[in-house]
Structure formats: structure tokens, C-alpha cells
Structure 1
Amino acid sequence: MSTDLQWLLIRNYNSFLVKRVPEGPVFSKEPGNLRNLHSHKYSGLANSKTIAVADSPSGVTITTRKVKASPTQVATGYTTSNIRPRSGGRRALGVASQYAKRGYRPDLRAAALARVSTLVAAQKEPKPSPPKKVRGKKAKTFF
């Protein structure tokens, strides 16, 4: 079945739709949807090639669907790669762009980069805040 036909069938009827505001955008919680927007371009269900970026204890996991995998394949139809949680923005750019260089959905490079860099930044430990400097009357009492 073609991806266009799949999209026409699941466009209005799937369990991942999130309709919050009647006039606003329609969101989607499906796996493999990088922007969480309900559209054919970002759909993880209707496209044969998908990129899923998820948080994991060992870092960030990028899962791609194999091109010739059938929809019924579970584990063998996907490949995964991990990014260490301490990697920087350039590492995230390299990982996100490696799929675009191979011709695997280059239109999703920006969305994958945004998702990877956000997850890597969220996993970093925040810097400790410096002690506050006392001013005014409180400063005079210490001297």
C-alpha cells in the first residue's frame, strides 16, 4: 500500500490525534513524529522511512525504520544508535546530519537536530549557581 493511501486512511481516524483548540493546530503523539504535528510529512505511521529520537538512560536513542521492512516487522525492521548524554551540539549535528547525507529523509534533518540537541541539553547537569553577593546594610554588618 502506498504511503499516500495510508495517510488518507489514518488522517482523520487514529488514536494518536491531539485536538486541543478547535481553530489551532492538530498535534500527534505517534512514535516517529519529530515535530508532533499531524501532517503527512512528519507522520510516523504513514511514511515508510521514519526517524524517532527518544530519551534513554544511556543517552539519546535514534531509531530509524529500514526502507524495505514490512509494517508487521517489529524488532528487525528498525535500527538504533545511541548518543552519549555528555556530547555537545556539534555531535548532535553530526548524528542528525548523517542520515541526511545518506539520503534518508534529508527533509527531517532540522527537526531531528532540534530534537537531539534539546534532549542532550536536558540531560546535562545544571551549573551550580554562584553565592549571592550581599549589598547595602547586610554588607556593612559583615565588616
Structure 2
Amino acid sequence: MKPAKLSIITLAALILTASPALACSCRGKVTVDSLLKYSAAVFTGVVYKVRPASSGQSLTTFGIVEAFKGPPAGATIRVLHRSGSTASCGVRFQPGRTYTLSVNMRPGMAEYTTSHCSTWMFNPNVGLRDRLIEGMRAMKRR
């Protein structure tokens, strides 16, 4: 078989067999109402500790600085998350840094869970962070 033809066949095989699970796709429009309605907790917190939990996952301990929903400021919570790249919905938290995120609670689990889809909107370069936080503060004051 000619090298060019083999390359085309190989490329086609890779494209056709690529797993959609390898890509992270966040859906839906993020609003203050939807964050507060569908999240178990929304908060700004400082990362105390990050440790491996299981294959491809990490367990991060946060100290809550500001609570919009869920445990109050001053509480410490543990959040289980994928630790890979954002392409696989992973999140990488660094000890000592402050993050704003939304988390969920799975039935029967002791830890909250999150993913890239629950944290991306708070990235400063996305432009939603300040508006979402101000909206959550305003709703909290009501």
C-alpha cells in the first residue's frame, strides 16, 4: 500500500474511532439563578490541600471565605474532582490560591464534586466572574 493512502486510512480510522468522552463539553447558559438553583454550594474559598483520590481524581480541601449558597464562611469542605486537563473536564487547584466555584453533592458521598464546567465561568478572562459574584451578593442581601 502507498504511504499516502496508508496515512489517509490511518487518519480516517482515528477520526472515526475517537471517543467523545475525551472532550469536555459544558452546556447551558450560566446565570446567577441557575447557579444558585442547581448547585449544592457556591462559594469563594482558599485551597488548603490537594491530594490524589483515585485514578485521575483529586480531593481538594477548601476554607470558605465567602458563601453564596451552602456551608457558611469559615467552614472547611472537601471537593472531589477530575485532575486532568480542562479538555477532560479536569480542574487543577493550587494550595494557597483563592477560587470561586459551584459544587454538587452526589447521594451517598461525603464530599462535594466539581468539574471544569462548574468553574470556568469564574475565570477572570471569561468576564462573567464579577457579574456573577455581584449578582449572587445582591440575591443574598434580599
Q: TM-score range by the shorter chain?
A: under 0.3
**TM-score with structure 2 setting the length:** 0.24
Higher strand share: 2
The answer to which structure, 1 or 2, has the higher relative contact order (CA under 8 A, 6+ apart) is: 2
Larger Rg: 1
**TM-score with structure 1 setting the length:** 0.23
